[in-house]
Structure 1
Amino acid sequence: MEFNFDLENPLSGTDEKALQLSKRLFLGSAHSDEPAMLFAAESEHMCSLAIALNQLSTRSHALSVIVQAQFSNNLDPALAYLAANYIDRFLAKSQIPDDKPWIARLLAISCLCLASKMKNIGFSPADVQREEGFIFDARTIRRMELVVLGALEWRMRSITPFSFLRFFISYFPLTNPIIIQSLKTHASQILFKFQSDVKSLEFKPSVTAAAALLAAARELFPADFPSFRSALLCCEYLNKETLAECCTVMDSYDSTTVIDAASNGCDSDYSALTPVTVLDRHRAGLESDKTAGSASNG
Structure 2
Amino acid sequence: MLTVLCGADSPPDMAAVESAAVVRYTDARGLADALRGADALFVYDFLSTAVPGAWPAADRLQWLHIAGAGVDPVLFPELQESDVVLTNSRGVFDDAIAEYVLGVVLAFAKDFARSLDLQRATTWRHRESERIAGRQVLVVGTGPIGRAIARLLRAAGMQVSGSGRRARTGDPDFGVVRDSGELPQYLGEFDYVVAVAPLTAQTKGMFGAEAFAAMKPSARFVNVGRGELVVTAELVAALRAGEIAGAALDVFETEPLPPDSPLWTMPGVLVSPHMSGDFTGWRRTLVEVFTANFRRWCAGEPLHNVVDKRLGYVPSEPQGAAG
> TM-score higher than 0.5 here?
no
Structure with larger Rg = 2
* Higher-helix-fraction structure: 1
Query: Which one scores higher on RCO, CA 8 angstroms, separation ≥ 6?
Result: 1
**TM-score, scaled to structure 2:** 0.23
* Higher-strand-fraction structure: 2
**TM-score, scaled to structure 1:** 0.24
